[in-house]
Amino acid sequence: MIELQIKHTKEFMAKLLGGTLFEDFLLEEATIETFNTFNIDGHIHKEFYGQQLKDDPSLCPYPLSCWQDVQQIAFNLIKGKHTPLSFKFILHLKPDKAAAIFNESEQGQEPVADYVIRISFSDGSIKITTGISFKVFSLDNSGALLWDDQVKKFLDAQNIEFEEL
């Protein structure tokens, strides 16, 4: 697990809320604190779709909402004349994207269930914290180290400047 501080807040926010930067991620949770505190639980309620989901299972392929499906909602809550007091987004890399990034034969990948990033804003700065969740208990930390490295490469490829804390 690493913590990265984003150097250019405005540019990052434009990519986070207005671009496709995180289109390969699912939203587990969002908390946005402005004049009220807004909480979004990203867990899908499949019963909402009823027969439509039975007819087309690809409508909801994941247990969590795709980031792009809630991105505009987050943007609408954050935009305005006033900077938010704080926000937090917990995002999971889509399983198919994780499989494409990480060769399943690499040591330490088998017990990893989710590759997670936490994007938080408070006191004028944005921080990204990496993390993983395991399918089973493991002392092997290689999956976390690989994920940490992938997140830094991802940000570098997008020209997002950061410093490791």
Residue 62 near residue 44 (C-beta atoms within 8 A): yes
Query: pLDDT at position 12, please?
Result: 96
Q: What is the pLDDT of residue 146?
A: 87
Q: Where are the alpha helices (DSSP H) in the chain?
A: 9-18, 51-55, 67-78, 95-101, 142-157
Model pLDDT for residues 27-49, shown as the tens digit of each residue:
999 999 999 999 999 999 988 88
Domain boundaries, the chain: 3-158
Mean pLDDT of 147-161: 95
Question: How would you label 28-47 residue by residue, b for 16+ Cβ within 10 Å and e otherwise?
Answer: bebebbbeeebebebebeee
- What does the chain come to in residues? 165
- State how far the Cα of 12 lies from the Cα of 95, in Å rounded to an integer: 24
Letter for the amino acid at 105?
S
Calpha distance 73→7 (Å, rounded): 25
pTM: 0.89
* 104 pLDDT above the threshold of 60: no
The span from the CA of 33 to the CA of 121, in Å, is 10
Provide mean pLDDT across the span 112-120. 91
Per-residue pLDDT tens digits for 52-98 = 877 887 777 899 999 999 999 999 999 989 999 999 999 999 988 88
What are the tens digits of pLDDT across the range 122-149? 999 999 999 988 777 767 677 788 899 9
> How confident is the model at residue 108, as a pLDDT?
46
User: What is the per-residue pLDDT for 111?
Assistant: 65
pLDDT at 132: 87
Say if residues 112 and 135 touch (Cβ distance below 8 Å): yes
CA distance to 52, 60, 71, 152, per residue, from 49 (Å): 6, 9, 20, 37
Query: Which residues does residue 129 pair with via DSSP β-bridges, in sequence order?
Result: 3, 118
Q: Kindly give the interhelix angle for 67-78 and 9-18, rounded to the nearest 10 degrees.
A: 130
Largest CA distance in the chain: 50
User: Which pLDDT score is estimated for 21?
Assistant: 93
